[in-house]
Chains A and B, each alone.
Chain A
Amino acid sequence: MCVNSEAFLYLVASVCFIMSLQGLSSAKTSKMGNLYGIVGMVIAIGTALMGSGISSYGFIVGGIVIGGVIGTFIAQAIQMTALPQLVAAFHSLVGLAAVFVAYAAYQAPEAYKIGTIGNIYRASLIEMTLGTIIGAITFTGSLVAFGKLQGLIKGKPLSFAGQHLLNAGLGGAIFLMAAIFVFTESHLIFWMIVALSFVLGFMLILPIGGADMPVIVSMLNSYSGWAAAGIGFTLHNNLLIITGALVGSSGAILSYIMCKGMNRSFFNVILGGFGNDDVAGPSGQKAIEDRPVKSGSAEDAAFIMAQAQNVIIVPGYGMAVAQAQHALKEMGDQLKKMGANVRYAIHPVAGRMPGHMNVLLAEANVPYEDVFELEDINNDFANCDVAFVIGANDVTNPAAKTDPTSPIFGMPILEVEKARTVLFVKRSMASGYAGVENELFFRPNTMMLFGDAKKVSEDLSKSLHNA
């Protein structure tokens, strides 16, 4: 096949990928979008296979079959609540694949038409090195994110003195090595770049706490795109460049939306400033549990709910941990049956990845029309009878509006305190991720329902049924 028809087919594949993202603009067209993505991928791989330079197919077919079986199996078996860690793990694979592709190009430059061994074009070396660095950082960074989301690594932010200095030093060393590599093409230097980038990926993500993972997962999503674009520059392949740019900007936009949802700058998240002792310590330790809290049983709560006309449910990460989405939906249905208007309010950073809550509610068959974003429902809390907070905490804390000294001050919150009654499902009185006490617990219109989110929802359904 001639170079021009190859390029044309790659263009078709690029358009398919754009259409794929376009499809996600609404739930109706979204499945079509996924299909476009698959078609684009098939065209892309088919074109590459028919291209010049491919002489044997054994390794190719073998690799695709092995990877395809593993990937399909994992994706079928995974629980929806484990979605964030799955996505993080997938990102790490893209990063590692980018490193391997860069290494292959370095080993067989003739096959990629970027020069000969020991005499690779300088521009290609620069692009290759960039792809390697970003890929390697994405790999280990995503591994740490995976570990944190899976609970293998402590979710608490880990930080130590001189951390930023160390990272800056690592970054400088990588830059220096990259410069040397471009002129020497040395094997040793290549592996040192890879090793240092691996370390940097670890160090960058390790200090960042669990609840900041929506930003981090989005950021790594973005990195995996930039790594692909870097490889695209090396191979002079527009499809890779376009795809990399699409994915890169997608991840960047998601990170931005998540940061805005927490009213924090991107750098603030990256530098791991949240949950540090110096920030959260004072307000977190002060006056814990010396004020009266009203708590109630499932029966008490059911009694209040049975009289409610308007109920807004606010789910958070705790719902995901307890796998309470199905029990919650049943409770919601029970309320609907009793004539109440039941809606769900989703904070942008609820959960551990963008859209996490929406997927879980969808899994439990909660109607799409009942689920609302923060800005669409926030005004309605004022005339709702019951706000049912399940597994969320910081995103409902009124201190974000009233207390300028609070670490979460300025963060947009769901204004549940305006509801006539707030039912707050929580396992204990422990503070949320930000280490800030929630003012809401002590309000007279708040009733705490202590217990596991799933258990509480089930008990509520039962009590409502009997009511």
Chain B
Amino acid sequence: MNDILKDRLRDLAETLQEAATKASEIGHAIADTATQSSTYTAGLSPFIVGLTVFVLAIFVGYYVVWKVTPALHSPLMSVTNAISSVIVIGALIAAGQDLNGTAKIAGFVAIILASINIFGGFVVTRRMLEMFDSKKKGN
């Protein structure tokens, strides 16, 4: 009786051990898949991510710009000119690093150029819009 019980218990232990091994294997497999899939998302080329954003933004731009009233097309040009100077961000990285002197100078020049645009663009847009505004008040 005791022997039979011992055998049974040993069998059960073996089965459980096998099951545990299997489970851990499955666990590893799942983990592997998960890791793979996560590296897959991270490994999605930044170009594709950028392209997605780019294409969607073109559509946004298309619909927003068609709504701009023709009378304000000049301010539209000057304001888009100002905001396209947001490339200054790229210049900031270059001018703020200390790894490469040439890049630092290039960044500095780019900051000056872009800043002329940013300030000039917004100021001239404001001047234009004020004209459209003052005439409303005047009448």
Q: Hey, which bits of chain A sit against chain B, CB under 8 A?
A: 13-14, 17-18, 20-22, 24-27, 30-31, 33-34, 37-38, 40-41, 44-45, 48-49, 51, 53-57, 59-60, 62-64, 66-72, 74-76, 78, 80, 83, 86-87, 90-91, 93-94, 96-98, 100-101, 103-105, 107-108, 110-112, 123, 127, 217-218, 221, 224-225, 227-229, 231-251, 253-254, 257, 346, 348, 353-356, 358-359, 362-363, 365-369, 371, 373
Chain B interface residue number, banded = 35 or more
Known: A107-B103, A247-B83, A353-B77. A86 touches B124 (CB 8 A): yes
**Chain A interface SS verdict (over half):** helix
Known: A90-B78, A100-B106, A233-B50. A245 touches B69 (CB 8 A): no
A238 vs B52: C-alpha distance when bound (angstroms): 10
- Tell me which residues from 42 to 67 in chain B have a Cβ below 8 Å from any Cβ of chain A: 45-47, 49-50, 53-55, 57-58, 60-62, 64-67
- Chain A residues closer than 8 Å to B20, beta-carbon distance: none
A365 vs B139: C-alpha distance when bound (angstroms): 9
1/0 per residue B74-96: CB within 8 Å of A?
11111111111111111111111
Shortest Cβ distance from residue B103 to the other chain A in the assembled complex, whole angstroms: 4
Which segment, of B4-12, B32-40, B130-138, faces chain A? B130-138
B73: Cβ under 8 A from any A Cβ: yes
Determine the residue in chain A with the shortest Cβ distance to B86.
A243
A227 vs B110: C-alpha distance when bound (angstroms): 14
Shortest Cβ distance from residue A193 to the other chain B in the assembled complex, whole angstroms: 15
Known: A127-B47, A358-B72. A368 touches B132 (CB 8 A): yes
- Are B97 and A55 closer than 8 Å at their CB atoms? yes
Q: Hey, which bits of chain B sit against chain A, CB under 8 A?
A: 45-47, 49-50, 53-55, 57-58, 60-62, 64-100, 102-104, 106-136, 138-139
Task: List, sorted by A's number, 29 A–B pairs whose CB atoms are closer than 8 Å.
Answer: A24-B72, A27-B133, A33-B79, A59-B96, A67-B116, A94-B84, A97-B85, A103-B103, A104-B90, A104-B91, A104-B107, A108-B99, A108-B100, A111-B99, A221-B77, A221-B81, A233-B47, A237-B90, A240-B87, A246-B61, A246-B64, A248-B58, A250-B61, A254-B76, A354-B76, A356-B74, A358-B74, A365-B138, A373-B71
- Are A34 and B122 closer than 8 Å at their CB atoms? yes
**Chain B interface SS verdict (over half):** helix
A324 vs B107: C-alpha distance when bound (angstroms): 43
- Chain B residues closer than 8 Å to A101, beta-carbon distance: 87, 90-91, 94, 106-107, 110
- Chain B residues closer than 8 Å to A250, beta-carbon distance: 61, 65, 76, 80
Select one of A13, A21, A86 contacting B76, CB under 8 A.
A21
Extra contacts, 10 of them, besides A44-B89, A232-B87, A241-B54 (Cβ < 8 A), are A21-B65, A41-B83, A48-B88, A74-B120, A101-B110, A103-B103, A108-B94, A231-B90, A241-B53, A354-B76
A87 vs B94: C-alpha distance when bound (angstroms): 27
- Are B70 and A71 closer than 8 Å at their CB atoms? no
Shortest Cβ distance from residue B15 to the other chain A in the assembled complex, whole angstroms: 47
Shortest Cβ distance from residue B87 to the other chain A in the assembled complex, whole angstroms: 5
- Chain A residues closer than 8 Å to B135, beta-carbon distance: 362, 365-368
A21 vs B58: C-alpha distance when bound (angstroms): 13
- Are A104 and B110 closer than 8 Å at their CB atoms? yes
Shortest Cβ distance from residue A74 to the other chain B in the assembled complex, whole angstroms: 5
A33 vs B63: C-alpha distance when bound (angstroms): 16
- Chain B residues closer than 8 Å to A83, beta-carbon distance: 74, 78, 124, 128
- Are A31 and B60 closer than 8 Å at their CB atoms? no
Interface-central residue, B47, B113, B139, by most chain A CB under 10 Å:
B113
Shortest Cβ distance from residue A364 to the other chain B in the assembled complex, whole angstroms: 8
- Chain B residues closer than 8 Å to A41, beta-carbon distance: 82-83, 85-86, 118, 122
- Are B97 and A75 closer than 8 Å at their CB atoms? no
- Are A63 and B115 closer than 8 Å at their CB atoms? yes
- Are B113 and A96 closer than 8 Å at their CB atoms? yes
- Chain A residues closer than 8 Å to B61, beta-carbon distance: 21, 245-250
Shortest Cβ distance from residue A316 to the other chain B in the assembled complex, whole angstroms: 15
Interface-central residue, A55, A93, A356, by most chain B CB under 10 Å:
A93
- Are B69 and A26 closer than 8 Å at their CB atoms? yes
Determine the residue in chain B with the shortest Cβ distance to A246.
B61
Shortest Cβ distance from residue B91 to the other chain A in the assembled complex, whole angstroms: 5
A80 vs B75: C-alpha distance when bound (angstroms): 12
- Are A21 and B68 closer than 8 Å at their CB atoms? yes
- Are B84 and A108 closer than 8 Å at their CB atoms? no
- Chain A residues closer than 8 Å to B110, beta-carbon distance: 63, 97, 100-101, 104
- Chain A residues closer than 8 Å to B128, beta-carbon distance: 80, 83, 359, 362
Interface-central residue, A21, A232, A250, A371, by most chain B CB under 10 Å:
A250
- Chain B residues closer than 8 Å to A49, beta-carbon distance: 92, 96
- Chain A residues closer than 8 Å to B45, beta-carbon distance: 123
Determine the residue in chain A with the shortest Cβ distance to B130.
A31
Shortest Cβ distance from residue A43 to the other chain B in the assembled complex, whole angstroms: 10
- Chain A residues closer than 8 Å to B129, beta-carbon distance: 27, 30-31, 34
- Chain A residues closer than 8 Å to B95, beta-carbon distance: 59-60, 63
Known: A20-B79, A355-B71, A359-B128. A72 touches B120 (CB 8 A): yes
A11 vs B73: C-alpha distance when bound (angstroms): 26
In the A-B complex, the 10 residue pairs with the smallest Cβ-Cβ separation, listed nearest first, are: A67-B115, A63-B111, A355-B73, A54-B96, A71-B120, A104-B94, A71-B119, A249-B61, A354-B73, A245-B57
- Are B131 and A104 closer than 8 Å at their CB atoms? no
- Chain A residues closer than 8 Å to B70, beta-carbon distance: 257, 346, 348, 354-355, 358, 373
